[in-house]
Amino acid sequence: MKRMIEVVDLGLKMLSCLAIIGGGMWAYYQFDIAGSTSWQNNLALETQVLPYNGDLRLLVVHVKSKNPRNIEFDLVKKDGDSFVLRVQRVADDAKVNGIIDPDRRSVVVPDIDLLANTGGEYDFAPNAEMDDMRTIVLKVGSTVALTADMETNNGTLDEHGEPDTNFISASTVVHISP
C-alpha cells in the first residue's frame, strides 16, 4: 500500500510539472509567437449616395472597424497614431486600359481626422465594432476614391531614422450618379 501511494505521489508530481511546462509554453505562444499583445483591426468602408440639393448629392461614408482580438488597443494621437479618411477625385480623362492612381493633388476635402472628436484617443475594446460616419457634399457626375488609414506608432525608429509604424487601410471608389 505504501509503495502504491509513493507511485501515485510521483505520478501527481510529474503531472504537475508537465502542467507547469505546458502553461509556460502556452503563455510563450500567446504573448510572443502569436503576438497577443499586438494590435489588429479589420477596416471596411460602406457608402450611400442620397439626394441633396439640385445637382448636389450627399455621400454618406461609414468607416467600420472591428477589433477581432481578445485584447484592447488604443490609438493615441499625441503618440503619433492616426486614423484618417481621405477623399480624392478620380480623373475622368483616363485612357482606355489605363491605371488610375489617385494622388495628393486630387484631394476633394482635407483629410478627415477620425480621432479629432475623441479627444485624441480612441479605445478599441476586445471584439468591439465601431462605426465612424462622415457626410460629404459632392456634385453629380463626380467619382471619388475613399481611403481609410489607421496607423500606430511602434515607439521605435526604422532604418532611415523615421518613426516605425504599422498600418492598415481600406479603400473603395464611388461614382455620384444623378
pLDDT at res. 164: 79
Give the 3-state secondary structure of residue 150.
Answer: strand
132 in the same domain as 88: yes
61 in the same domain as 27: no
Residue 102 pLDDT class (50, 70, 90 cuts): low
pLDDT at res. 32: 65
Residue span of the structural domain in which 22 resides? 1-37
CATH number of residue 167's parent domain = 2.60.40.10
Using the structure block, give the residue that is written with the C-alpha cell 467600420: 64
pLDDT at res. 30: 67
83 in the same domain as 47: yes
| 46-50, 71-75, 160-164, range with the lowest pLDDT | 160-164
142 in the same domain as 67: yes
Contact 122, 67 (CB under 8 A): no
pLDDT at res. 34: 58
18 in the same domain as 84: no
Mean pLDDT of 105-110: 80
Grid coordinates belonging to 71:
485584447
| Cα separation, 117 vs 32, whole angstroms | 34
Pairwise pLDDT comparison (38 vs 79), residue with the higher score: 79
Residue 173's CB is within 10 A of a number of other CB atoms, namely: 13
Mean pLDDT of 51-59: 95
pLDDT at res. 31: 67
87 in the same domain as 6: no
48 in the same domain as 33: no
Contact 175, 48 (CB under 8 A): no
pLDDT at res. 45: 97
| Cα separation, 53 vs 87, whole angstroms | 21
Residues ≥6 apart with Cβ < 8 Å to 154: 163, 164, 165, 166
Reply yes or no on whether the pLDDT at 92 is more than 60: yes
Number of folded domains that form the chain: 2
Provide the CA 29 distance to its chain's centre, in angstroms.
23
| Cα separation, 35 vs 81, whole angstroms | 19
Which percentage of the chain shows pLDDT scores above 70? 93
Provide the CA 25 distance to its chain's centre, in angstroms.
29
Cα angle: 15, vertex 19, 24; to 5 degrees: 150
Give the 3-state secondary structure of residue 131.
Answer: strand
Q: pLDDT digits over 15-41, tens only?
A: 898 889 888 888 777 666 655 556 789
Residue 176 pLDDT class (50, 70, 90 cuts): very high
